[in-house]
Amino acid sequence: MTDHEILIAASKIKHLKGLTVNEMLFHSNLMDEFDLAVNEKNLSRTKFILKALNLNSETIQEIINKIAT
């Protein structure tokens, strides 16, 4: 997926509130792209996807810390 495609997919769920990160990834159809980034330990790609979902910096850093270890 291109960066542009990720941003478009993420924008489709902006109206939904109260979702978990997994729910956001699922409903935006970004789960496979996220899993690929995580499995490759591609932290910059992982951050990009999480930022596209409008997660706050603290939440993103918590997820990155779990992946990096």
**pLDDT tens digits for 6-42?**
999 999 888 888 899 999 999 999 999 999 999 999 9
Q: What is the pLDDT, as a whole number, of residue 14?
A: 80
- Say whether pTM exceeds 0.75: yes
Greater confidence (18 vs 46) lies with 46
Q: What is the pLDDT, as a whole number, of residue 48?
A: 97
Is residue 69 scored above 80 in pLDDT? no
Contact 38, 67 (CB under 8 A): yes
Owning domain of residue 51:
3-68
- Residues in CB range of 14: below 8 A, 6 or more apart: 54
Overall domain count for the chain: 1
